């Protein structure tokens, strides 16, 4: 299931790359969102905001993987679980960097808000998603395409892991949840103040914080949880609601409205050629292969190994004695 | 397997003759005034003895001797009609009668005395093979007087006092150069159905580990097959070859036939992960969870005279597996067929023999869109490795001269950021590759083995062999598969050949071969005759150890 995001035909970048060099691997879509997974949605929105053309690759069988979302660029891959995730990978590969033009103080604010999102808000979001009452929606997000027995087993396993990580037990659930929601509420207030009336958080340009906040807001506004405390908290801040709704229309092209012209995807630069040895070298004629140190060592070790085995066999034969395989030939003495 | 169960006519007649001779001897030695039953211990050679319709009371010794002599002559020359009237079991405390009924089923169907003797011997060995009796004696007695031409069978057993047994061993798998420690605990006859409960734990130094527990019911419900149920938790590490580790949790239920047929159902939860994050794209697409619900049927016939140095005979195995059984369309769905045929032809001189073998396998997904769906990597065919050409039939999986999983399509792994100083050869700097396996595999070999002329070597069974083997592996479905063509397939065949010395011992079989640069004249080298450009580096030298146990 991969969707091609083609640039408009009058793309004037003049690049010679093949569209689809950039592939975003996410979990499956649901509830009207291009990807229903709360970790993958910000990455998707980031690429949309950056107006970069990419292919979507859906993987429905890795609900517990920490490596998703991941981005493939030629032979290189950036996983969510390493080195700053997808955003850092895109910056390192020089594909796109939305945070490039920020001043130092803005960067400081950006990092603070991101830390707040990734701790308080993320914890509250995980708690709400993995609550037993919201079981049905959780299964639709993570396990929609897994066979029946696995759904139950993985759902239980992941729920236990999440609740353990959050420190929630049946006894302290009420207290702990209240604490999580309170912190999330504080975070929303702070973001609302920071956003104010602007289109974006910083400089009227989208940044990674916008992708992160938008991803979270859209997730909780669109997924119909049974118990959606966070949605209630979000709706207390009208500017956040407006922000989310207007950008969802522009970036995701809902209600039939086309994607805003400013965000029409453009094809990324071609990836570097993979660093591989020339094919000629792969022709394995042992006699012609240059003798590297490693090979010599290997052969030496192999020789000793064989000699040692032979000695072991001989010792066994001499000291332990063994039965002859096959018919016994009665050794007649020559007479 | 008890050799007496071979069922060839010539052997049966010999055994019968033995029995009758023994009977005659017994009769001559024993005190005739008893005139009673003759008991015998049923052993593999078949000394089960029976008694004719003895009416020994009141007759003098001469006429009873004559009677018995004429009986035994009659037994030797013509079939004596008899049928089994009743089977009596004595001495079983825990073991249920149904167990005996199942093992002695064939006795009820005999029609002649000769058959009765043969089947008694076989039944005795089957009962002993259950491993739950310390002593097992089958006695044949005359049936009730009002029913002439009948016999009673009396089975006396003594159950084992200690049903527990355990094993601990260290094994080596030459294919993956891994060592494993394996321990098993068995408990026999817990409930009385002659079942064996066992728990096995296995830990490998390449961090492969397995925990399994199972129950085997021999001759389940009277069928000539055992019911085997097994629960398994297994972690297997293929990181070095294909950049993934798989964790399997499954249950399997099967009927294991006494000799040829074997059918089982398997439900397994499979999880493929790549903790190193270095897998190639094709392997990345394979990671994740899946559920396998499959039925597997195996038909096996091995009529070779030896498993490790066959000189005569033919062996065949066919394995069919259909996965995706269940109403859920999200189960793994594929059909897999594997076939292998081996032929051993004796040449009549120097114990020489030519062994020929051909093996093939194919796996295809089924269901809508099957042409574009890739097959699951865990079920594909992999070729390469150092297992012996002769020996157990393993399908199209071994190709000497090539690394484990070394043959077939492979793909570049994810390049690592930290590329330190480049090595001396190009090989070090190039990122490693993942082997992907194939959907269609064909392999074959021809092996010529012969004794060496030295008497000393012949006495110890050391012989030489030379061989040529070939194989190929291609993907059929999935992305990046070019159109399959027969010409392409045949032109890409890998071939390797070589020769070596085989030293069989009680514990293991050692085959050694070295490349010519070592200047050791008695050994020859393996040299691959052709290899595909894409194959991984081939191994020039390998000492091959096959452990027998």
Residue A167 falls inside a structural domain = yes
Among B129-133, B151-155, B482-486, whose mean pLDDT is lowest? B482-486
Give the pLDDT score at B17: 65
Give the pLDDT score at B370: 85
Give the pLDDT score at B25: 64
Residue A285 falls inside a structural domain = no
Give the pLDDT score at B110: 84
Structure tokens at B13: 């007649």
Has residue B507 got a pLDDT over 90?
no
pLDDT tens per residue, range B443-477: 999 999 888 888 887 777 788 888 888 889 888 88
CB contact under 8 A, A276 and B460: no
With H, G, I as helix, E, B as strand and everything else as coil, classify residue B469: strand
Query: Does the bond joining B321 to the residue before it have cis omega, within 30 degrees of 0?
Result: no
Query: Does the bond joining B95 to the residue before it have cis omega, within 30 degrees of 0?
Result: no
Give the pLDDT score at B388: 72
Q: How far is CA B157 from CA A300, B134, B459, in A?
A: 60, 8, 43
Has residue B418 got a pLDDT over 70?
no
Has residue A22 got a pLDDT over 80?
yes
- The average pLDDT across B77-93 equals 83
Give the pLDDT score at A62: 93
- Region at B313 (left for phi over 0; alpha for psi -120 to 50; beta for the rest): left
Among A161-165, A167-171, A257-261, whose mean pLDDT is lowest? A257-261
More confident residue, B57 or A45: A45
Average pLDDT, chain B: 77
pLDDT band at residue B34 under the 50/70/90 scheme: very low
Please state whether beta strands B164-173 and B196-204 pair in parallel, antiparallel, or not at all (unpaired): unpaired
Give the pLDDT score at B142: 83
| Chain position carrying tokens 């079939």 | B79
Answer whether A206's CB lies under 8 Å from A49's CB. yes
Contacts of B285 in chain A (CB under 8 A): 59
Which DSSP category does B17 fall into? H
Give the pLDDT score at B315: 93
Give the pLDDT score at A281: 44
Tell me the nearest-neighbour CA distance from B247 into chain A, angstroms: 14
Answer whether B151's CB lies under 8 Å from B141's CB. yes
d(CA B246, CA B378): 8
Give the ranges where A143-207 is alpha helix by DSSP (H). Answer: 148-166, 173-195
- The average pLDDT across B314-341 equals 93
- The average pLDDT across B21-46 equals 47
CB contact under 8 A, A313 and B541: no
Burial of B83 (0-12, 13-18, 19+ CB in 10 A): middle
Give the pLDDT score at B180: 81
Contacts of A295 in chain B (CB under 8 A): 425
Q: Name the B residues in 487-506 with CB < 8 Å from any A CB.
A: 503-506
Answer whether B278's CB lies under 8 Å from B244's CB. no
Residue B13's CB is within 10 A of a number of other CB atoms, namely 13
* Residue of chain A whose alpha carbon sits nearest to that of B528: A285
In chain A the beta strands, taken as DSSP E runs, fall at 22-26, 55-58, 70-73, 76-79
d(CA B84, CA B293): 45
Has residue B318 got a pLDDT over 80?
yes
Mention every residue, 6+ apart, whose C-beta is less than 8 A from residue B94: B159, B189, B192
Give just the sign of the alpha carbon dihedral B491, B493, B494, B498.
negative
Has residue B531 got a pLDDT over 70?
no
d(CA A186, CA B176): 56
- The average pLDDT across A31-38 equals 92
Among B67-76, B361-370, B495-504, B512-521, whose mean pLDDT is lowest? B512-521
Which DSSP category does B5 fall into? G
With H, G, I as helix, E, B as strand and everything else as coil, classify residue A23: strand
More confident residue, B472 or B132: B472
Give the pLDDT score at A29: 94
The CATH number of the domain holding residue A22 is 1.20.1050.130
Tell me the nearest-neighbour CA distance from A153 into chain B, angstroms: 10
pLDDT tens per residue, range A212-245: 999 999 999 999 999 999 999 999 999 999 999 9
B538 touches chain A (CB under 8 A): yes
Has residue A128 got a pLDDT over 90?
yes
Give just the sign of the alpha carbon dihedral B159, B162, B163, B169.
negative
Has residue B546 got a pLDDT over 50?
no
pLDDT tens per residue, range B220-248: 776 778 889 999 999 988 888 889 999 99
Number of domains forming the structure of chain A: 1
Share of chain A above pLDDT 70, in %: 78
Length of chain A: 335
Structure tokens at B167: 């094993």
- The average pLDDT across B423-449 equals 75
Residue A32 falls inside a structural domain = yes
Give ∠ CA B263-B384-A77 in degrees, rounded to 5.
100
Burial of A306 (0-12, 13-18, 19+ CB in 10 A): buried
pLDDT band at residue B175 under the 50/70/90 scheme: low
With H, G, I as helix, E, B as strand and everything else as coil, classify residue A79: strand
B275 touches chain A (CB under 8 A): no
Length of chain B: 549
Share of chain B above pLDDT 70, in %: 76
pLDDT tens per residue, range B273-298: 999 999 999 999 999 999 999 999 99
Residue A304 falls inside a structural domain = no
Answer whether B318's CB lies under 8 Å from B339's CB. yes
Structure tokens at A122: 């993320």
The parent domain of residue A251 ranges over 18-271
Give the ranges where A196-292 is alpha helix by DSSP (H). Answer: 208-222, 229-235, 238-252
pLDDT tens per residue, range A136-164: 999 999 999 999 889 999 999 999 999 99
Give ∠ CA B300-B185-B100 in degrees, rounded to 5.
60
Q: Of the candidates A290, A262, A270, which has an alpha carbon nearest to the alpha carbon of residue A206?
A: A262
B contact test, residue of A325, A329, A331 with most B CBs within 10 A:
A325
More confident residue, B149 or B248: B248
- The average pLDDT across A35-39 equals 93
pLDDT tens per residue, range A53-63: 889 999 999 99
Give the pLDDT score at A331: 42
- The average pLDDT across A23-48 equals 93
Residue A163 falls inside a structural domain = yes
Which DSSP category does B93 fall into? S
Phi, psi of B27 (to 5 degrees): -60, -40
pLDDT tens per residue, range B89-106: 888 888 888 888 888 888
Q: How far is CA A316 from CA A312, A319, B308, B544, in A?
A: 6, 5, 20, 17
Residue A330 falls inside a structural domain = no
Q: Which residues pair with B172 in a beta bridge?
A: B179
pLDDT band at residue A278 under the 50/70/90 scheme: very low
Q: Give helix A148-166 / helix A122-129 axis angle, nearest 10°.
A: 140
Which DSSP category does A134 fall into? G
Answer whether B407's CB lies under 8 Å from B384's CB. yes
Which DSSP category does B348 fall into? S
Size of interface A-B (CB pairs under 8 A): 133
Has residue B428 got a pLDDT over 90?
no
B328 touches chain A (CB under 8 A): yes
A contact test, residue of B330, B539, B544, B548 with most A CBs within 10 A:
B330
With H, G, I as helix, E, B as strand and everything else as coil, classify residue A179: helix
């Amino acid at each position: 299931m991969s969707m091609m995001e083609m640039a408009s035909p009058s793309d004037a970048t003049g690049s010679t790359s093949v569209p689809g060099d950039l592939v975003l691997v996410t979990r499956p879509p649901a509830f009207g969102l291009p990807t229903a997974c709360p970790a993958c949605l910000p990455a998707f929105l980031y690429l949309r905001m950056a107006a970069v053309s990419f292919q979507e690759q859906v993987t429905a069988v890795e609900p517990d993987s920490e490596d998703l979302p991941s981005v493939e660029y030629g032979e290189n891959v950036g996983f969510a679980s390493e080195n700053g995730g997808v955003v850092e990978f895109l910056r390192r590969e020089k594909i796109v960097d939305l945070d490039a033009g920020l001043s130092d103080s803005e960067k400081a604010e950006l990092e603070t808000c991101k830390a707040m999102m990734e701790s308080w808000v993320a914890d509250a979001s995980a708690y709400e998603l993995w609550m037993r009452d919201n079981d049905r929606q959780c299964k639709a997000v993570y396990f929609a395409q897994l066979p029946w027995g696995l759904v139950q087993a993985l759902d239980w396993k992941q729920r236990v892991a999440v609740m353990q990580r959050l420190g929630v037990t049946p006894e302290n659930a009420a207290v702990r949840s209240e604490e999580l929601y309170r912190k999330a509420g504080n975070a929303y207030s702070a973001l609302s103040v920071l956003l104010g009336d602007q289109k974006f958080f910083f400089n009227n340009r989208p940044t990674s914080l916008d992708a992160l906040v938008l991803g979270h807001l859209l997730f909780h506004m669109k997924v119909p949880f049974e118990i959606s405390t966070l949605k209630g908290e979000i709706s207390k801040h009208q500017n956040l609601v407006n922000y989310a709704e207007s950008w969802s229309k522009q970036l995701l092209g809902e209600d039939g409205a086309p994607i805003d012209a400013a965000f029409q995807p453009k094809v990324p630069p071609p990836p570097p050629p993979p660093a591989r040895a020339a094919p000629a070298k792969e022709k394995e004629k042992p006699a012609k292969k240059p003798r590297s140190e490693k090979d010599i060592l290997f052969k030496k070790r192999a020789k000793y190994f064989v000699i040692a085995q032979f000695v072991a066999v001989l010792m066994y034969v001499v000291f332990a004695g063994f039965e002859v395989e096959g018919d016994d030939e009665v050794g007649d003495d020559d007479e | 397997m008890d050799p007496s169960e071979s069922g060839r006519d010539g052997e049966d007649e010999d055994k019968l003759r033995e029995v009758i001779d023994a009977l005659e001897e017994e009769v001559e030695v024993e005190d005739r005034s008893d005139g009673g039953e003759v008991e015998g211990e049923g052993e593999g050679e078949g000394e089960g003895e029976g008694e004719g319709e003895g009416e020994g009371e009141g007759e003098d010794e001469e006429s009873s001797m004559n009677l018995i002599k004429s009986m035994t002559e009659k037994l030797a020359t013509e079939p004596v009609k008899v049928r089994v009237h009743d089977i009596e079991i004595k001495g079983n405390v825990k073991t249920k009668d149904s167990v005996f009924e199942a093992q002695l089923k064939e006795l009820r169907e005999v029609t002649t005395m000769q058959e009765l003797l043969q089947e008694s011997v076989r039944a005795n060995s089957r009962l002993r093979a259950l491993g739950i009796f310390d002593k097992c004696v089958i006695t044949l007695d005359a049936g009730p007087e009002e029913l002439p031409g009948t016999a009673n069978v009396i089975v006396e057993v003594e159950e084992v006092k200690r049903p527990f047994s355990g094993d601990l061993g260290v094994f080596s798998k030459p294919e993956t150069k891994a060592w494993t420690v394996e321990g098993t605990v068995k408990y026999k006859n817990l409930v009385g159905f002659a079942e064996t409960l066992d728990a096995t734990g296995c830990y490998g130094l390449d961090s492969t580990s397995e925990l399994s527990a199972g129950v085997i019911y021999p001759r389940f419900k009277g069928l000539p097959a055992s019911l085997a149920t097994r629960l398994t938790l297994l972690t297997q590490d293929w990181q070095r070859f294909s950049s993934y580790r798989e964790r399997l949790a499954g249950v399997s239920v099967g009927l294991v036939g006494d000799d040829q047929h074997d059918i089982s159902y398997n439900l397994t939860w499979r999880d493929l992960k790549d903790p190193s994050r270095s897998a190639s794209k094709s392997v990345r697409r394979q990671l994740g969870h899946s559920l396998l619900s499959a039925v597997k049927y195996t038909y096996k016939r091995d009529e070779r005279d030896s498993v490790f140095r066959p000189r005569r005979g033919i062996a065949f195995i066919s394995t069919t597996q259909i996965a995706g059984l269940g109403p859920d369309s999200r189960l793994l769905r594929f059909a897999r067929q594997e076939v292998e045929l081996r032929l051993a032809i004796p040449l009549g001189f120097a114990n020489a023999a030519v062994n020929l073998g051909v093996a093939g396998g194919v796996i295809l997904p089924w269901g809508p869109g099957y042409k574009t769906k890739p097959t699951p990597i865990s079920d594909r065919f992999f070729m390469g490795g150092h297992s012996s050409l002769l020996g157990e039939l393993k399908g199209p999986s071994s190709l000497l001269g090539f690394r484990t999983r070394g043959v077939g399509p492979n793909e570049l792994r994810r390049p690592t950021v930290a590329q330190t100083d480049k090595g001396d050869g190009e090989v070090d700097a190039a990122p490693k590759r993942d082997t992907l396996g194939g959907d269609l595999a064909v392999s074959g070999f021809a092996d010529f083995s012969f004794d060496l002329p030295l008497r000393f070597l012949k006495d110890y069974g050391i012989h030489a062999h030379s061989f040529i083997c070939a194989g190929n592996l291609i993907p059929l479905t999935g992305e990046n598969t070019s159109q399959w063509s027969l010409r392409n397939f045949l032109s890409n065949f890998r071939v390797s050949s070589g020769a070596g010395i085989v030293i069989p011992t009680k514990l293991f079989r050692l085959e050694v071969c070295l490349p010519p640069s070592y200047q050791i004249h008695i050994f020859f080298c393996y040299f691959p005759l052709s290899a595909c450009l894409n194959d991984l580096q081939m191994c020039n030298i390998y000492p091959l150890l096959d452990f027998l146990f």
